[in-house]
Structure 1
Amino acid sequence: MAEEPFVVAENLLLLAEKIKEDFPYSASVYNSLLLHARDHAHTFKFFTLRGRPESHAVMWINEAKTEIGVHAKPDEIPLLKEALTKTKLLAWQLDRIFCFYNVQDYLTEAVQDVATCKLGKPLLLGSVYTFVREVDHFPPLWCGAGLRVSKLGRAGVAHMLATSKHHKHRDVDEILQLAEGASSAGVYEDEGASQDTLVDAGAMPSGPQDRKPLAWVTCLQYGALAALMTEPEHRRRGLAQLVMEAAGRGMAGQGFVPHAYVEKDNGPSFRMFSRMDGWRRAHDAIFMHT
């Protein structure tokens, strides 16, 4: 019987430090490793290649085997492809819904080849742009009068998930732990804020547990800022930029790599990131799913 090519990663912090060399391509896996090592998240189990301690190849899987992530250096593509072909850790079934998250563009062909072989047909592809926040450029960040920026509270997280395009299925308590412990930002109405206030992204207070924000974003288990949205009646006020910048700075202050994925048909978000000072477009990535 063939030996399982993947083994459980024992030291997530050391693994994160190793793949740090591969920025920006490894940003999501790096952040996710830190999130799990610091007990902000407990969603994924991480694996490395058996007998190859020098390798940068990483795979993560959730318990239900519906969410998968992979990373490897370009010269390790054959190794990763062979391991994905041989592993018994993945449930390759046509009637099963699963997704490979933010696959780097140079890994897409290898993952697709394995999936096509296992399933008899290719996975569906959703292409995204990656925007990364430079961490050495933080001009003053201001919040307008009548508003305040805080981490998301329970009502904010619940509302965010209920209105999300992709994350409705996630558990409120699980995301609340991420929002409070890692990074999130919401703009709340505050009648007591009579003038513009300076936002200290490194010391944002916890948001009210029983109120919904006007705009919001949070870091998710796979390491990127996501679920960005502004209530329709409050759009065109710069609130999305405000929460994204506050959450990005909050991530950077904890040693994470602030970044976000933007679907290629999402013109408003693409234009917002393109004009935000300190954010730059990096590589493309692919979400691959049944």
Structure 2
Amino acid sequence: MALFGQRRPFSIRRLPGFTMIAITCFVLLYTPIVTLVVYSFNAGKYIAIWEGFSLQWYVAAWNNAAVQDATIRSLVLAALASLFATTLATMAALGTTRVKPFRGLTAIYAMINQPLMVPEIVTAVALLILFAVIKVATGVQGLYYLVAAHTAFCIPFAYLPIRARLEGMDLTLETAAADLYATPWQTFRRVTLPLLFPGILAGAMLAFVISLDDVVITEFVKSAGQETLPTYMLGQLRRVITPEINAISTALLAISIIVVSLFFVITRKPS
């Protein structure tokens, strides 16, 4: 039994109106998404007039050659960007957590996380100008620029969970390995990397989703014939809109939910 006069711990859920505000926020956030998913099964050709249940628009999207090409390019781009971004983020995380604090470390944190603080349109314009100069000077064209742009943008998203994992790791095992005459590489390969792997995997999945869903940077950097799935959908919205766009959006939503759910499962601390 609680002692007389003892105050209960503060909980925001007991504030007046909290429940109603929370319900309103959830309704405003998820009603459009639920509507999108429902109307992706619409049998009619209009996106907002329900004419019965059908899977025809999923079939149409699956058989659409332009959608297939954009989807493959998006998956390849996201895979390469997440691979490179995660590799660089892991190196950056090790270099900023496995060292003694020094002057300028805070500035390094700020530089790594800069893409998170700068508006994405600013990053897109800067990359457009940089790559335009490189293209003029070298004459080299290709998907490399999109990969580089997505990699640069995804690095902080991969860096945060990897750094968090490193900061939560106990240094005892690494110290014990060093005491047993293990080289730094052996310590990293046999001790640090296995313990760090969940954070690396989480960072890679987060970078993959960010790259897969990106529109602004892709729209500025891509060349002709380099449509990704999001930019293809943006182009279709400027023309005739059909429930096929709803079906593609629902598929992207499902992929994002699966990957983000895995991210939270992997990064969840054991009880």
TM-score, normalised to structure 1's length? Answer: 0.25
Q: Which has the higher contact order (CA 8 A, sep 6+)?
A: 2
Higher helix share: 2
- Whose strand proportion is higher, 1 or 2? 1
Larger Rg: 2
